[in-house]
Amino acid sequence: MVVTLIGYRGSGKSSVAGPLAERLGWAACDADAALESAAGATIREIFAAEGEAGFRRREQTVLAELLQRDRWVIAAGGGAVLSETTRRAMRAAGPVIWLQAAPATLWARIAGDATTAARRPNLARGGLAEIQDLLAAREPFYRECATFTIDTEGLAVAQIVDEAWRLLQTVWNQVAAGK
């Protein structure tokens, strides 16, 4: 079984994956880091060389492999849900937790992340407007894929992990009860 964290860039997936996996006694993986390692290039470099379509093909391949593992928490890339194949694989692998935050919060987190500029492509039109547009386009996919949703607004990582733990317990209790 795999627990997959989905959500827009800056929603907390990478920050939550490790502590949640530790609490579960599982391993954690950031899918974007795994993709970069496999490619020998940053996401920014892959986008520059291959465009978004090339990046998405690589992302789908990496996630297909990661989702075959057992007892892992995976932080998926923000756009991973764009692939129907990947959405199906995520749901088949185990619970999917959608981490949400307001667009302004996401923008502040992205702007405050020193690694964003070096590793990730710039937001094409810039800032908050693009985040709002992409969220609107991706929301149906996040919603379709998610087993649970956690609003991360104003929450510390430990609080998000506590909420994810609580939600996962409900799934496992239902499975144990044969529901």
> Residue 33: its pLDDT value, please?
94
Cα–Cα nearest to 169, from 97, 110, 113, 89: 97
What length does the chain have? Answer: 179
Question: Over 60: is that where the pLDDT of 176 sits?
Answer: yes
Say what the pTM is: 0.91
Question: Over 80: is that where the pLDDT of 119 sits?
Answer: no
> Residue 117: its pLDDT value, please?
53
The 8-class DSSP code of residue 122 comes to: P
CA distances from 152 to 89, 158, 159 (A): 25, 11, 9
> Residue 126: its pLDDT value, please?
66
Which domains are assigned to the chain? 2-172 (3.40.50.300)
> Residue 171: its pLDDT value, please?
81
Following DSSP, what letter does each residue of 164-179 receive, concatenated? HHHHHHHHHHHHHTT-
Average the pLDDT over each of 120-129, 135-144, 152-161, 166-175 and give the range with the smallest value.
Answer: 120-129
What is the rounded average pLDDT of the residues 8-27? Answer: 96
Q: pLDDT tens, 71-89?
A: 999 999 999 999 999 999 9
Q: Give me the percent of the chain exceeding a pLDDT of 90.
A: 77
